[in-house]
Structure 1
Amino acid sequence: MHVKFNPEHLNKNMFRESGRELIPEGMNDRLEGLRAGILHLHSLGLVHNDINPSNIMFDEDGNFILIDFDSCRRIGENLHETDAGRTWAWHDPDVKIALPKNDLDAFEDLRIWMVGSPDERSNFE
């Protein structure tokens, strides 16, 4: 399965304003599966810290798979004292500590980016 969400490689804001085609309705369940995976990571005491479209792949069944764990840190770890490489515009640069909220905010931004929302606001603009 190959789905092109952003064929022109537009940045987040340009993509949202481009009149893009939103993800197919059936993909919402897969998006919730990704959220469940993030919550599982949190249950292990870890925070991914870099949830963004570049770090999501599809398996052969079209399920979202979270990749790129080089920014993953233990809950409570100081992000500025490590070399956590986080993706610009997909995280709050003022956040200094690895907290589950970091991932959940980025997931919500990802969801808005993919599915849309009434006001199309982003968490990290």
Structure 2
Amino acid sequence: MADHQLRELKVCEMLRANPHRNICAYHGYLSSAGQTYVGGLCFDRHAMMLGRAADQKISLPADFLDGPDYTLMHLHRLDYAHNHIASWNDINPKNLMLSLNPCGAPVCILIDFDSCQPLGERLEKGPTPDWVYPGDVSVADDDLWALGPMRE
């Protein structure tokens, strides 16, 4: 568990140094009282998960999922993939948030970087139920594949 948390912390620090408007803003971490472990990671808060918005039949513009395409390209240019875990893809409606930009238009925000790893590394974390993609290495194509079922 500590290895996953440390990996996510490193990824979030890298993303803070290379921000993108559709990646959830990371503000740092809280340490334990004795400063021996990470007590939590601090991020912006957003309105709701995309899955909940879909369950509530909230109408979104046709180009709403274009945001994650550009977001993933940014992540891939940094030589990372958001990834899948075991045989489950981590680009799913639970890891995309619905937010509003300053003009009130809906924006898609990517969250949850605990399975994010450098391209080419072996994956090892547990599954996100009902979101499947085969493979066991961090590759950009898996991230892009996962957007297809969400568009449907």
Superposition pairs for residues 18-37 of structure 1, below 5 Å? 24=59, 27-37=61-71
The answer on 1:51 being equivalent to 2:91 is yes
For 2:76 and 2:107, the matched residues in 1 are separated by: 20
The answer to whether residue 69 in structure 2 is matched with residue 6 in structure 1 is no
What TM-score do the two structures reach when normalised by structure 1?
A: 0.64
Q: Give the C-alpha shift of residue 33 in structure 1.
A: 1.3
The aligned residue for residue 65 of structure 1 is 109
**Equivalences, count:** 93
Distance 1:56 1:29, change over 3 A: same
RMSD: 2.1
User: Per the alignment, in what secondary structure is the counterpart of residue 104 of structure 1?
Assistant: helix
Q: Which runs of 5+ in 2 are unaligned?
A: 1-46, 84-89
Would you say the 8 A contact 2:98–2:107 is kept in 1?
A: yes
Query: Which structure would you say has the larger Rg?
Result: 2
What corresponds to 1:104 in structure 2? 144
State whether residues 53 and 98 of structure 2, in contact with CA within 8 Å, keep that contact through their aligned partners in structure 1. Answer: no
For residues 42 and 97 of structure 1, the distance between their equivalents in structure 2, rounded to whole angstroms, comes to 14
Structure 1: runs of 5+ lacking an equivalent: 8-20, 113-125
- Are the equivalent residues in 2 in contact too, given 1:30–1:64 (CA < 8 A)? yes
Percentage of pairs with the same residue: 37
TM-score, scaled relative to structure 2: 0.54
Aligned-partner residue type, residue 65 of structure 2: L
Match of 1:91 among 125, 132, 143: 132
Q: Which has the higher strand share?
A: 2
Deviation at 1:110, TM superposition (A): 1.4
